Chain A
């Protein structure tokens, strides 16, 4: 399978990339690791006429300690998240979830920013950033703005980024003493999650997010409210599918996904130390 023809532009900086995309409008797409975009282009589900390659923008691959939060450059690859000592000590959930994406070859190329901007509700990292209460930095022709993860994912493969904005950084608040867990259920190695659940408990407050239970990654607000009201992990997990509209596909029906969400939420909560 070969993608449809396109013009290829290589950008050396975020500013240059944004200017190139602005010049070509909605016909243009950013190319980072390409592990979401290239498969879609091969299937002709995406047919951009211009690709702006940002893979060579070297100063966007950092993982930095910024006092109250960790800042990750949008082009940091899954493999660097997985092996980052800083993330492993300050934000282990993100490092762990990165290690569960695809397979080693995918993790050598795929980027955090690419995965988030792609906004696939079946992807692991968007739900992790949501559970961690992260925020995303978007740079456009008119400057920079910060968008919370809660506001970022707006629909199926849709985000709050406007056409000429580039995701440049992801910020995760530090949470010393946090306990966490990620449950990913799939039938075969390297598959997407049929359902996934990320849980983070910090100083008695638990945040839970769901993978592949709707058109965006979702916070399991029913579970969070039940826990805040004193429910046990098992009781709270019963609310996991509340308010969700899980998809139907070859792997699972909505009913099966709802059941899985409950089971995996209970496991994630218990493994996070919520009893």
Chain B
């Protein structure tokens, strides 16, 4: 069926099979491979994107459910090709990644978290990222990156 979705600010109209999951629509149909598939069971959060500004797991949403909605992926976060989004910059500055596989989902979840809670405590950051798994960092620097991005002192 035909769907029309705003992806990173641009309107995209595509023909999709109803069973196509949003993450595969983004990756295979639109070539937006920044969004990763991790566990494929709604657990790891690697596939996190924003739908109407809120974090969702794109492996647990059908592309047809995104019809008429506004979707932002990691590719749409930075203001321009040579400038990072403040959250991406904060992950870089605070060494909030190692292998990088969870990073796009982690950054999207973190942005959604700060949208809802602009000055979270450390505990709130940890709880707010409970839907995202990282197997490298032990989370400490990810939490630090999010706190720093919210303007809090992490030194």
Q: Which positions in A face B, CB cutoff 8 Å?
A: 1-8, 10, 31, 34-35, 38-39, 41-42, 51, 53, 55, 79, 102-106, 108-109, 189-190
Contacts and interface: CB of A to CB of B under 8 A. Distances in A.
A82 B56 CA distance: 17
Contacts of B42: 35, 39, 102, 106
Given A4-B19, A39-B41, A190-B43, A102 B60 contact: no
Contacts of B56: 105, 108-109
Interface string B91-115: 0000000000000000001001100
A8 B40 contact: no
Contacts of A38: 21, 60-62
B17 interface: yes
B65 A34 contact: yes
A112 B19 CA distance: 24
Contacts of A189: 127, 130
Q: Which 4 residue pairs are nearest across A and B when measured between Cβ atoms?
A: A103-B131, A8-B18, A189-B130, A108-B54
B61 A102 contact: no
A53 B64 contact: yes
Contact of A104 (B40, B67, B109): B109
Interface residues of B, number: 33
Contacts, number: 83
A66 B67 CA distance: 34
B139 to A, nearest CB: 11
A106 B21 contact: no
Interface of B: 1, 17-21, 24, 40-43, 45, 48, 51, 54-57, 60-62, 64-65, 67, 109, 112-113, 116, 127-128, 130-132
Which of B20, B21, B56, B65 counts the most chain A CB atoms within 10 A?
Answer: B65
A39 B64 contact: no
Contacts of B55: 104-105, 108
A74 to B, nearest CB: 17
